[in-house]
Amino acid sequence: MIDAASMMKASERLWIGSGSGAALQAALTAAKVGEVQLLDGAQARDKAAFMTAIARALRFPDYFGHNWDALVDCLDELHWRDEPIVLVIDHGDELLADAPGEIDTLLGVIDEAFAPNPELPHSALKVVVAATPSAPILAQARKRGLAVGQL
């Protein structure tokens, strides 16, 4: 287990948190780790619904194309925000449940997009999943060899 401030300094981008997404969002906001946004995995069970949900959660521009390349582009644009971003995914066990093949693509985006930029020290993206340890996104992350932190 790690505290929120240490989470922001750690290299892991994907984290598992216990409790509800709303409780995690409140705790992370209170810890002043940066901009904390909530995405409901129960409302993002397929790719189209996920793209809509992430666009809403991270306030993407109207021209967002609702595909993986457009997601990478919009995440890269987030570098210019003034503070780190934490995306809390509530109901993480349900995220992309109707499109499990898309989970690996999402993990690739999380792993590669929004890479740390030394010229923009406040730019950081952390994804905290409120889910069971066996949630498909976490199981697939471990299968890929991605480090998953625990709050």
**In whole angstroms, how far apart are CA 105 and each of 43, 71, 118, 124?**
18, 11, 26, 20
The closest alpha carbon to 94, from 20, 40, 36, 17, belongs to: 40
- Residue 36: CATH number of its domain: 3.30.370.10
CA pair distance 78, 76, nearest whole angstrom = 5
Question: In this predicted model, what pLDDT tens digit does every residue of 55-109 receive, in sequence order?
Answer: 999 999 999 999 999 999 998 888 777 788 999 999 999 999 999 999 999 999 9
Q: Quick one: tokens of 38?
A: 């909530």
Q: Stretch 124-135: mean pLDDT, rounded?
A: 93
121 band by pLDDT with thresholds 50, 70 and 90: low
What total of structural domains would you count in the chain?
1
Is the backbone of residue 32 left (phi > 0), alpha (psi -120 to 50) or beta?
Answer: left
124 band by pLDDT with thresholds 50, 70 and 90: confident
Q: Quick one: tokens of 16?
A: 């598992």
Instruction: Answer whether residue 120 shows pLDDT above 70.
Output: no
CA pair distance 147, 138, nearest whole angstrom = 10
Q: Quick one: tokens of 87?
A: 């995306």
Question: In this predicted model, what pLDDT tens digit does every residue of 21-50 receive, in sequence order?
Answer: 999 999 999 999 999 999 999 999 999 999
Q: Quick one: tokens of 101?
A: 């093949």
pTM of the model: 0.92
Domain that holds residue 75: 4-150
